[in-house]
Each structure stands twice: as structure tokens, then as C-alpha cells.
Amino acid sequence: MSPEPKVSVVLPVYNGLRHLAKSIESVLGQTFADFEFLVWDDASTDGSWELIGQYRDPRITAHRQQSNLGLFPNLNQALERTRGELVRLWSQDDVMKPHCLAREQEFWHRHHQVGLFYCRREIISEDGSASHSSSEDGTPPVVSGRVADEVSFNWGSMPGNISTVTLPRVVFDDVGYFTTEMRLASDFELWIRIHEKYPVGFVNEVLMSLRCHRAQLSRSDGAELVFLRECREIYRRLHERLPSETRRARERYGRLIHCAPYVHAAVRALLRGEPGYAWSLLKDVHRWHNAALVATLWLVTANTRVYRPQPVYSGESRKALRLGEDRGAISLV
């Protein structure tokens, strides 16, 4: 490893013992070796810290918090210690393909202008068996921040998961770190801050395995309500800065696509015998769009299974993404 490594791999850890060894070893087994590996334990209680201490690789710098801070405050502290030109975010559950860092270095050498870039992923189950890969799409290697905003409004966070993302370290000096005011969607919020100043890159190759299991933070109790409140603010910001000529279409699109999943979560909560939680979800949906109208749309579209409006793009984005002409968002009301 050079005095200033090319890449800083940053791994926040909290009670991740079950899959942590495979995650760490997949990083240490990279064909590209010029990296530092910062492993920041957030006061785990399951033996994760003891496992981390067993590794003697000189590229590893490990730190343990005295008390649990939460994902993003813990991650920010690790980011402040990075020295690499690039920062590769990582997760305790996931597995890097051996050539991941090498391929991402190749991409970076071709596209120095981007403020972040992300790769495709495959989904694996808790036991590690492959489920499916993210499908190939027509996203170009680089899109402008405005195009990234429109894609994000239509589909959510472009990277999909934090462990697909690499960023130039200087970007943090320019736009700041993860906000600690959000518990679950702080990564999405940071990406849209980056969109305001930088293009976004896409490595159209499966470079990591994303493990899905019930113990993930995004599946914790009450996660839907937290996501609803945090993402509502993110989509509001995107909506305000996107082209005025597509505003009405975006409002119709968001009424169903952004809100219907939370109506669905409220119905599931009722079926579980949690009326209070269901009511909280519906009240917060109503702060976004009319909850009665959203619930009606959820019902008649079978939660968007029988009808889903077309994503809304401006002419600039349609051209950049090489999209054919269509009718745009179709309104039911």
C-alpha cells in the first residue's frame, strides 16, 4: 500500500457477526491491492469487534465507538479519517467480487468528472445463494446531475444501495458528509446534494453481491414510517428543482408511485393488529398527498400491479437516456 492509497474502503459495523468475516475477506481478496480499509465498529455487542481484531492485515485500520452512534454518525467519523483519492463505501453483509476495485479504478481513470459512481449488483439470500442480478439498463456511463435528479424522482436512489457506491474524497469537502438528521435515507439525501454540482457515473457490470435478510436496518420495526418521513423531504426537494413543464405530470406520478407503498404498509399493519402504526403511516401520507385519493388509487391499481404510470422525463433527459417517445405519466384522476 502506498503512503496515500488510491482507495479508502470504509466499512461501518454494528452487530454484523454472522456475515462480517465474508464481507471483510472479500475486500482483502481484491486483485487491486492499493487501498486502506477502515473498519468502524459502532459498539457492537455480538462479538463483531472481537472478530475484527483477529485480522492482522496492515491495510486495516479499526476503531470501536464507546457507545452506539447510529449508522451515519459512525460512518461520518470513518470518512473523516480516509486518505485515498477514492472512497469506496461498504457493508457488513455484502460480498465484493475479486475484481471490483480494479474495475472501478478503470472507470475512474476514464471519468474523473463524476461526483459519485455506482455499479450493478447481484442479490443473494441470507445463506449466500444467488437470487438474481440487477438487470442491464440503458443508463449511460455518465449522466448530468439534472438527469440524475429526474431518474431519482422516478425510481428512487440511483445506486439502490450504499455498498455499490464510490466517491472522490474531495466531494465530501465540497458538499459535506451524511446528514445525521436522517436515520435511514441519509445516503439518498447525500446523493441528491452531489447531483446539484456533479455528474453521476454508472459501471454497467455486476461487481458485488448484495445480501437480503430480515435483520437489515431497512427492515427494522417502524422503518416504513421513517422512510416515509425522510423520503418525503427528499422528493419534495427534487420536485422543486426539476423542470416546471413536467410539474403536473410529476405530481400525478408521485401521488401513486411514491405514496401507494406506504398505504400498502398501513394495510399490512392493520392485518398485524397494529392500528396505531397504520394510522401514523396514513397521517404522514396525507401530509404528502391526499391520503383518501392515494388509498383509492392503491386499491384500483392493486398496488400498481394492474396499472403503473410512465416515468416522467424532460426532453433533455429523454435524449440523454436514449428513451423513445411515449405519453408520459397517465392520470387516473
pLDDT (tens digit, 9 = 90+) per residue, 25-62? 999 999 999 999 999 999 999 999 999 999 999 999 99
Q: Which of 109-113, 260-264, 315-319, 327-331 has the lowest mean pLDDT?
A: 327-331
Q: Is residue 134 very low, low, confident or very high in pLDDT (cuts 50, 70, 90)?
A: low
Give me the pLDDT at residue 201, please.
98
Confidence of residue 127 (pLDDT cuts 50, 70, 90): confident
Architecture of domain 7-217: Alpha-Beta Complex (3.90)
Angstrom distance (rounded) from CA 332 to CA 316 = 26
- Full-model pTM: 0.92
For the segment 142-161, the average pLDDT, to the nearest whole number, is 96
pLDDT digits (tens, 9 = 90+) for 160-202: 999 999 999 999 999 999 999 999 999 999 999 999 999 999 9
Task: Give residue 126's pLDDT band: very low, low, confident or very high (50, 70, 90).
Answer: confident
Show the CA angle centred on residue 208, arms to residues 9 and 311, nearest 5°.
Answer: 110
Give the model's pLDDT for residue 212: 84
Which bin fits 5, alpha (ψ -120 to 50), beta or left (φ > 0)? beta
- Report how far residue 238's alpha carbon sits from residue 236's, in angstroms, rounded to the nearest whole number: 5
Domain range list for the chain:
7-217, 243-313
Q: What is the pLDDT of residue 190?
A: 98
Q: H or E segment at 101?
A: helix 100-110
Residue 213 has pLDDT above 50, yes or no: yes
> What is the structure's pLDDT at 136?
67
pLDDT at 328: 40
Residue 331 confidence class, pLDDT cut points 50, 70, 90: very low
- What is the rounded distance in angstroms from the CA atom of residue 287 to the CA atom of residue 282? 9
pLDDT at 206 over 70: yes
DSSP one-letter string for 255-323: HHHTTHHHHHHHHHHHHTT-HHHHHHHHHHHHTTS-HHHHHHHHHHTTTTTS--PPP---HHHHHHTTP
| Average pLDDT of every residue of the chain | 92
Q: How far apart are the C-alpha atoms of 166 and 332, rounded to whole Å? A: 40
Arithmetic mean of pLDDT, 105-119: 98
- Give pLDDT, residue 326: 47
C-alpha distances in Å from residue 63, one per residue of 32, 52, 69, 262 = 24, 9, 13, 38
| Mean predicted confidence (pLDDT) in 89-101 | 97
pLDDT for the residue numbered 333: 41
Note the pLDDT tens digit of each residue in 261-316: 999 999 999 999 999 999 999 999 999 999 999 999 999 999 999 999 999 999 99
**Which residue is listed with cell 453481491?**
209
